[in-house]
């Protein structure tokens, strides 16, 4: 019986509403809370993500996914098979400790981010216990009845119960760019997904209208869940992620070359083949910054928590790096640049004279519309209307607003008539009018007055007022007005509104400019209004580009013009995405801030998509970063945090690659002329592990002001040059140490290995304090935790030759004479590195 029910529900589009209620044991008022709890246990959370326990295992196993690490483990096991059990255990323990450290760091980072994301969970309106309740979408279960309005994300697959002008964007499933109207009904069993007009699917979004739906399937059982593994859902790489990937390829090339050359040479010199192989692999591990994934994750999570304290919630961690790299921020006007509190200023006839009739019709239009609740309709309805129609009117139907028509029409019945009222962009309203009301009840041909109407519109716009047009026409008593009936209407007049700039916005724009971020405003308002706003913001010479001009431009022309433009006016939703793409192709890292239904594509396209917690679901879901406070000043703080995170991540890369490259180059060279290996494989791994400890605290390190003033960008060429210059400088002093050990102390194998291990770790730990900053060490002191771990590792390294660990790792006690010579060598190295750093940052860009 259960199998039959499941089969019927799998084709739920062919079910009647009553049949669906019976199969799901629910009703039009939804289910109760107790029943919902049972179903949540039965069906699981409404999400496509897997449980955390799997995520923890993935994080753990990912620590061992490096090919070099896997090779090292295999070689160690081979060594054990040949009888060298002690060394095998030591190598395996060091690899395990290193991997567990990475797991601990990444798991902590993932947990912290998970807590932050709970602050911006998507919600939906569900009927529970016969009343409307706001719930997280993960709590929705089959049998729930959900209430929908414009801007909502569909939380699961369901059957339409009620609809009023309900249009849904299903482009992700059907490829159809136009919204689909949804209505209750029954479709044939073989109806393709694109023709199931009685169904709603998880991941689609409501463009306009209202409705109710019965949830049938959730989570992995939805259409989106079934195809998610097959779809290419990979988010485009960020600028930083591309850099990390290229950096990884570079290290792989160097590592592979190193392993092959060192192994071949050592075998040719008749050194034991297995020891030579383990040595070359250990060198490869030493060159590879093993903790880089963990360091990046920790830096990003620390940055995310810090940004959360500034009321900035990061949904996608990698976006933090782009936040620090961002040099252009595109923003919508309303609610970000302006107060977002639109106020009705005046209602005027076609000549610009106050008109009560225009206000009455505008009020009826705004009061009757059932789509997305927007600031303009709120502003109109907030003004009290005392006419007879205020209580005695009823909405018949609605042609919802869309971003192509740019107008909204409602059919309303009032005591005196049955009329259709259209409100929207002036030019789009004029397009459907053939007459104009020149005085009460007197009509004239629109052609005789169109120029005067447009001149009045221009005058109002030049004064900085948002101006809409209003038109109407009478409808027959039995007629239902549709989109096709939007013609031969009567132009009535204008609505003017204003939305002043936010207080302190001028200072905020100046602050962004000082941070090296150029603000570009993208608005649907007309060019005169945009220019007036620019003047209020102190941008008297602002360059304005209109949507019409953009349409007539080639991509090459727009790529040249866009970076020079301050305000994009009269822009259509699809053009927002094009503007962002063009700015990115011009080599910029672009952020976009938006909160509307039509902003989702641009939010996806931008390097950093930014929205606010009060935004519609579709915008909030598309964003990488969500602001709890709708204020650009918060963004300035977030940009600084992003730059701190970027800088501290780059510090680790500079430290690890320069020190490791120098040490490995030195050991590789020494192995060619020494009769023994300069360090045993286990000693190399211990060196790498100890030098990683101070670098693990880099996320809490201080960041110099010089790194916060301008956008930070990934530069692989710069990293290569840094690695070569400071790696070779390190090798010079390494070979000096070799000379001291061989020619002054006449060291045997164990003394050489102990002396070299000690000097290698000490110099690598101290050089971190130099390369972590562009400034002199004394002008930029390290953070507390970096200082503590540095001191702790130095003491530990000096104690190891005199501890029980010495015999395990093959170390011996060293003479005081060596320590004095090592102190001189390390001091000279640190001073030389300071001088080299000054030269490097001055000469090499």
List helix spans (H) across 501-546. Answer: 505-514, 527-536
Is 423 found in the same domain as 549? no
Query: Of 450, 479, 498, which marks where a domain is finished?
Result: 498
Distances (CA, A) of 765 to 288, 422, 790, 792: 17, 72, 6, 10
Residue 60 domain flag: no
User: Of 169, 332, 377, 599, which is the active-site residue?
Assistant: 332
617 is catalytic: no
CB 193 within 8 A of CB 137: no
Domain count within the chain: 4
Instruction: End-to-end CA distance of the chain: give it in Å, rounded.
Output: 73
Give the span between the Cα atoms of 655 and 754, in whole angstroms: 23
pLDDT digits (tens, 9 = 90+) for 398-452: 888 776 788 999 999 888 789 999 999 999 999 999 999 988 778 999 999 999 9
735: pLDDT strictly greater than 70: yes
Q: Which two tokens stand for residue 213?
A: 């739906």
Residue 215 domain flag: yes
pLDDT digits (tens, 9 = 90+) for 501-513: 877 888 888 898 8
Give the span between the Cα atoms of 508 and 633, in whole angstroms: 6
Q: Which of 131-145, 286-300, 768-782 has the lowest mean pLDDT?
A: 286-300
271: pLDDT strictly greater than 80: no
597: pLDDT strictly greater than 80: no
Mean local confidence (pLDDT), 524-544: 82
pLDDT at 397: 87
Which residues constitute the domain of residue 322? 312-339+502-628
CB 546 within 8 A of CB 527: yes
pLDDT at 81: 62
Q: How do strand 205-217 and strand 466-474 relate by DSSP bridges?
A: unpaired
Looking up residue 658, the CATH number of its domain turns out to be 1.20.1110.10
Is 210 found in the same domain as 324? no
Is 506 found in the same domain as 494? no
Residue 207 domain flag: yes
Is 719 found in the same domain as 673? yes
CB atoms within 10 A of CB 829: 24
Give the span between the Cα atoms of 733 and 788, in whole angstroms: 26
CB 298 within 8 A of CB 565: no
Comparing C-alpha atoms, which of 622, 575, 747, 781 is closest to residue 205? 622
Is 413 found in the same domain as 475? yes
Query: Of 498, 521, 537, which marks where a domain is finished?
Result: 498
Residue 635 domain flag: no
Q: What values do phi and psi take at 211, rounded to 5? A: -175, 175
Give the span between the Cα atoms of 461 and 465, in whole angstroms: 5
Residue 439 domain flag: yes
Mean local confidence (pLDDT), 675-685: 81
Is 205 found in the same domain as 273? no
Comparing C-alpha atoms, which of 742, 740, 732 is closest to residue 819? 740
Is 325 found in the same domain as 348? no
pLDDT digits (tens, 9 = 90+) for 10-35: 788 888 999 999 999 999 999 999 99
Q: SS in 3 state form for 51-111?
A: CHHHHHHHHHHHCCCCHHHHHHHHHHHHHHHCCCHHHHHHHHHHHHHHHHHHHHHHHHHHH
CB 688 within 8 A of CB 93: no
Give the span between the Cα atoms of 782 and 777, in whole angstroms: 8
pLDDT at 230: 46
Provide the 3-class DSSP secondary structure of residue 785.
Answer: helix
pLDDT at 828: 95
pLDDT at 752: 94
pLDDT at 580: 93
Whole-model pTM: value is 0.71
**pLDDT band at residue 232 using 50, 70 and 90 as cut-offs:** very low
| Rg value, the chain, Cα | 34
Provide the 3-class DSSP secondary structure of residue 288.
Answer: coil
Looking up residue 532, the CATH number of its domain turns out to be 3.40.50.1000
Query: Of 454, 480, 498, which marks where a domain is finished?
Result: 498
Residue 89 domain flag: no
Is 687 found in the same domain as 653? yes
pLDDT digits (tens, 9 = 90+) for 790-833: 999 999 999 999 999 899 889 999 999 999 999 999 999 999 99
More confident residue, 673 or 561: 561
pLDDT at 293: 65
pLDDT digits (tens, 9 = 90+) for 282-333: 666 666 665 666 667 777 777 777 777 777 888 777 778 788 889 999 988 7
Comparing C-alpha atoms, which of 800, 794, 770, 819 is closest to residue 659? 770
**pLDDT band at residue 688 using 50, 70 and 90 as cut-offs:** confident
Looking up residue 174, the CATH number of its domain turns out to be 2.70.150.10
């Amino acid at each position: 019986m259960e199998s039959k029910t499941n089969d019927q529900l799998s084709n739920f589009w062919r079910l009647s509403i009553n049949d669906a209620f019976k199969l799901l044991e629910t009703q039009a008022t939804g289910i109760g809370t107790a029943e919902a709890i049972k179903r949540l246990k039965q069906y699981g959370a409404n999400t496509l993500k897997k449980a955390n326990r799997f995520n923890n295992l993935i994080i753990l196993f990912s620590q061992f996914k490096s090919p070099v690490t896997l090779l090292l483990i295999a070689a160690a096991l081979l060594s054990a098979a040949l009888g060298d059990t002690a060394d095998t255990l030591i190598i395996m323990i060091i690899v395990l400790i290193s991997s567990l450290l990475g797991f601990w760091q990444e798991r902590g980072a993932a947990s912290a981010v998970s807590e932050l994301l709970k602050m911006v969970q998507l919600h939906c309106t569900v009927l529970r216990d016969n009343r409307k309740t706001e719930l997280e979408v993960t709590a929705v279960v089959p049998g729930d009845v959900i209430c929908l309005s414009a801007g909502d994300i569909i939380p699961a697959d369901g059957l339409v119960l009620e609809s009023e002008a309900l249009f849904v964007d299903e482009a992700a499933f059907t490829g159809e760019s136009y919204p689909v109207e949804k209505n209750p009904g029954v479709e044939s069993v073989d109806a393709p997904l694109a023709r199931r007009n009685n169904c709603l699917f998880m991941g689609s979004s409501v463009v306009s209208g209202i409705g109710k739906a019965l949830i049938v399937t959730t989570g992995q059982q939805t259409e989106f869940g079934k195809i998610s593994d097959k779809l290419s859902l990979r988010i485009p790489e960020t600028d930083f992620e591309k850099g990390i990937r290229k950096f990884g390829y570079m290290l792989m090339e160097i590592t592979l070359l190193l392993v092959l050359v060192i192994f071949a040479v050592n075998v040719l010199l008749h050194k034991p083949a297995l020891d030579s192989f383990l040595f070359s692999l250990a060198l490869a591990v030493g060159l590879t910054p093993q903790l880089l994934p963990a360091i990046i994750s920790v830096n990003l999570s620390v940055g995310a928590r810090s940004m959360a304290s500034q009321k900035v919630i990061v949904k996608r961690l990698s976006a933090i790096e782009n936040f620090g790299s961002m040099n252009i921020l595109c923003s919508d006007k309303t609610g970000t640049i302006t107060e977002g509190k639109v106020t009705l200023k005046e209602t005027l006839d076609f000549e610009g004279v106050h008109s009560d009739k225009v206000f009455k019709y505008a009020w009826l239009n705004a009061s009757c519309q059932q789509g997305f609740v927007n600031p303009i309709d709120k502003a109109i309805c907030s003004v009290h209307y005392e006419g007879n129609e205020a209580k005695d009117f009823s909405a018949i139907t609605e042609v919802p607003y869309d971003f192509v028509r740019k107008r909204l029409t409602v059919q309303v019945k009032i005591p005196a008539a049955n009329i259709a009222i259209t409100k929207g962009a002036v030019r789009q309203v004029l397009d459907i009018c053939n007459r104009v009301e020149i005085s009460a009840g007197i009509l004239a041909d629109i052609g005789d007055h169109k120029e005067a109407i447009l001149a009045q519109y221009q005058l109002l716009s030049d004064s900085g007022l948002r101006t809409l047009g209003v038109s109407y026409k009478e409808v027959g008593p039995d007629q239902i007005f549709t989109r096709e009936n939007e013609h031969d209407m009567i132009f009535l007049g204008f609505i003017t509104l204003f939305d002043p700039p936010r207080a302190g916005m001028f200072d905020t724009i100046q602050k962004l400019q000082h941070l090296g971020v150029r603000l570009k405003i993208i608005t649907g308002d007309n060019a005169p209004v945009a220019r007036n706003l620019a003047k209020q913001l102190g941008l008297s010479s602002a360059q304005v580009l209109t949507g019409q001009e953009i349409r007539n431009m080639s991509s090459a022309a727009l790529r040249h013009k866009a970076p020079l433009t301050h305000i994009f006016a009269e822009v259509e939703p699809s053009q927002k995405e094009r503007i962002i793409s063009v700015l990115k192709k011009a080599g910029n890292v672009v952020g976009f801030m938006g909160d509307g239904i039509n902003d989702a594509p641009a939010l996806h396209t931008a390097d950093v998509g930014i929205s606010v917690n009060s935004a519609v679901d579709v915008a909030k879901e598309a964003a990488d970063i969500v602001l709890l406070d709708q204020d650009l000043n918060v963004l300035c703080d977030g940009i600084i945090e992003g730059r701190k995170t970027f800088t501290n991540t780059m510090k680790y890369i500079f430290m690890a690659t320069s020190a490791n490259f120098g040490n490995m180059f030195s050991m590789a060279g020494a192995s060619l002329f020494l009769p023994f290996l300069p360090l045993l494989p286990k000693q190399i791994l211990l060196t790498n592990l100890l030098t990683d400890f101070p670098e693990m605290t880099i996320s809490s390190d201080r960041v110099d002001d010089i790194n916060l003033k301008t956008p930070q960008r990934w530069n692989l060429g710069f990293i290569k040059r840094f690695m070569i210059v400071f790696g070779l400088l390190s090798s010079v002093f390494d070979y000096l140490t070799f000379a001291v050990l061989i020619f002054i102390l006449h060291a045997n194998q164990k003394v050489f290995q102990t002396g070299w291990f000690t000097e290698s770790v000490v110099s690598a730990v101290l050089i971190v304090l130099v390369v972590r900053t562009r400034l002199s060490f004394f002008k930029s002191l390290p953070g507390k935790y970096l200082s503590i771990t540095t001191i702790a590792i130095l003491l530990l390294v000096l104690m190891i030759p005199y501890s029980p660990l010495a015999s395990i790792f093959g170390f011996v006690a060293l003479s005081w004479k060596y320590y004095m010579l090592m102190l001189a060598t390390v001091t000279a190295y640190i001073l030389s590195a300071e001088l080299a750093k000054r030269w490097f940052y001055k000469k090499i860009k």
